[in-house]
C-alpha cells in the first residue's frame, strides 16, 4: 500500500469491503471511501492550521501564498534520489565517525541500490 498520510486504515478498508460484499453498490462504496478520505484530509488540514509554530511561519503571507504553503505542507514532495542517497551516506558516516559502526548500520543492499540509482542519474561530464 502507498505510504501517504491519507492512506485509509485497514479497519476502514475492511468495513468498506464488507459493505460492498453485502450488497452495497460499487458507487455507494466509492462514495463512502471518498467521503472518509475527504474527512481525514479536512481533519489533517485543521490540525496543520492549528499548529502555532507553522501558523507563525506563514502569518504574514497573503492570499494564494497561504494556500500554497498549506498545499506544500499537506502534499510534500518525496525526497529526490540525490537526497535519499545523501541521507544514506550521512547515516553510515555518523556511525563510522563515532566508532559505533556495526553490521546492522552499514550499507544494505537497498542503500547501495539507492546510491547507484542516484549516481546513474548524474550526467557523464
4, pLDDT greater than 80: no
104 lies in which domain range? Answer: 81-121
The count of other CB atoms within 10 Å of the CB of residue 59 is 9
Burial group, residue 19, by CB count within 10 angstroms (0-12, 13-18, 19+): middle
Give me the number of domains the chain comprises: 2
pLDDT at 6 over 80: no
Asked which of 24-33, 54-63, 95-104 is least confident by mean pLDDT, the reply is: 95-104
Angle between helix 64-74 and helix 26-50 axes, rounded to 10 deg = 110
- Is 2 inside a domain boundary? no
Query: pTM here?
Result: 0.49
HSE-up of residue 91 (Cα within 13 Å, Cβ side):
15
Q: Does 45 reside within a domain?
A: yes
Q: Residues 42, 60: one domain?
A: yes
Tell me if 63 is assigned to some domain. Answer: yes
34: in domain:
yes
The average pLDDT across 78-87 equals 84
Averaged pLDDT score across all residues of the chain: 80
| Same domain as 28, residue 55 | yes
CA pseudo-torsion sign 115, 117, 118, 119 = positive
Q: Which residue has the cell 558516516?
A: 93
Which of residues 56, 74, 92 is at a domain's end? 74
Instruction: State whether residue 3 is helix, strand or coil.
Output: coil
* Within-domain flag for 3: no
Looking at the fold, whether 68 and 15 belong to one and the same domain comes out as: yes
Average pLDDT on 57-66 reads 77
Extended strands (E) in the chain: none
Amino acid at each position: 500500500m502507498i505510504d501517504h498520510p491519507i492512506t485509509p486504515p485497514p479497519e476502514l478498508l475492511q468495513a468498506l469491503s464488507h459493505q460492498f460484499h453485502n450488497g452495497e453498490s460499487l458507487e455507494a462504496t466509492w462514495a463512502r471511501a471518498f467521503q472518509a478520505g475527504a474527512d481525514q484530509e479536512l481533519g489533517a488540514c485543521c490540525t496543520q492550521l492549528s499548529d502555532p509554530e507553522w501558523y507563525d511561519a506563514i502569518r504574514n503571507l497573503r492570499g494564494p501564498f497561504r494556500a500554497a504553503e498549506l498545499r506544500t505542507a499537506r502534499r510534500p514532495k518525496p525526497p529526490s534520489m540525490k537526497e535519499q542517497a545523501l541521507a544514506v551516506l550521512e547515516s553510515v558516516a555518523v556511525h563510522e565517525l563515532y566508532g559505533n559502526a556495526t553490521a546492522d548500520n552499514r550499507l544494505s543492499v537497498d542503500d547501495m541500490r539507492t546510491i547507484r540509482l542516484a549516481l546513474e542519474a548524474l550526467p557523464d561530464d
